[in-house]
Amino acid sequence: MKILTVIGARPQFIKAAVLSRAFKEHRQDVEEIIVHTGQHYDANMSNVFFDELDIPNPAHNLGVGGGSHGENTGRMLEKLEALFLIEEPDWVLVYGDTDSTLAAALAASKLHVPVAHVEAGLRSFNRRMPEEINRVLTDHMATLLFAPTETARVNLLREGIAAEKIHVLGDVMYDAALFYKARASEPAWFAGSGITQDQFVLCTVHRAENTNDPARMEGILNGLSASNLPVVLPLHPRTRGKLSQAGLAIPGNVTVVDPVGYLEMVWLEAHCKLIATDSGGVQKEAYFHRKPCVTLRDETEWIELVECRVNTLVGTNANAIEASILNASLPADFDEWLYGDGNSGMKIALAIL
Residues in a beta bridge with 6: 35, 94
Instruction: Please spell the DSSP secondary structure of 270-302, one letter per residue.
Output: HHSSEEEES-HHHHHHHHHTT--EEE-SS--S-
Q: Show Cβ contacts of residue 335 under 8 Å, excluding neighbours closer than 6 positions.
A: none
Q: What is the pLDDT of residues 200-211, one digit of tens each?
A: 999 999 888 899
- List of domains in the chain: 2-168 (3.40.50.2000), 201-327 (3.40.50.2000)
In the predicted model, is pLDDT for residue 47 greater than 70? no
- The arithmetic mean of pLDDT across residues 189-207, rounded, is 95
pLDDT digits (tens, 9 = 90+) for 240-258: 889 999 999 999 999 999 9
Neighbours of 212 (CB within 10 A): 11
- Residue 333: exposure state from Cβ atoms within 10 A (0-12, 13-18, ≥19): exposed
Q: What pLDDT, on a 0 to 100 scale, did the predictor assign at position 29?
A: 85
The answer to whether 282 touches 10, Cβ cutoff 8 Å, is no
Residue among 140, 167, 206, 236 flagged as catalytic: 206
Which residues, 6 or more positions from 198, have their beta carbon under 8 angstroms from its beta carbon? Answer: 271, 272, 273
40 in active site: no
**Average confidence (pLDDT) over 185-195:** 95
Judge residue 127's burial from the number of C-beta atoms within 10 Å of its C-beta, 0-12 exposed, 13-18 middle, 19 or more buried.
exposed
Residue 239's pLDDT band, with cuts at 50, 70 and 90, is: confident
CA-to-CA distance for 26 and 20, rounded, in angstroms?
A: 10
Please give the model's pTM, rounded to 2 decimal places. 0.88
Instruction: Report helix, strand or coil for 313.
Output: strand
Cβ–Cβ < 8 Å for 111, 81: yes
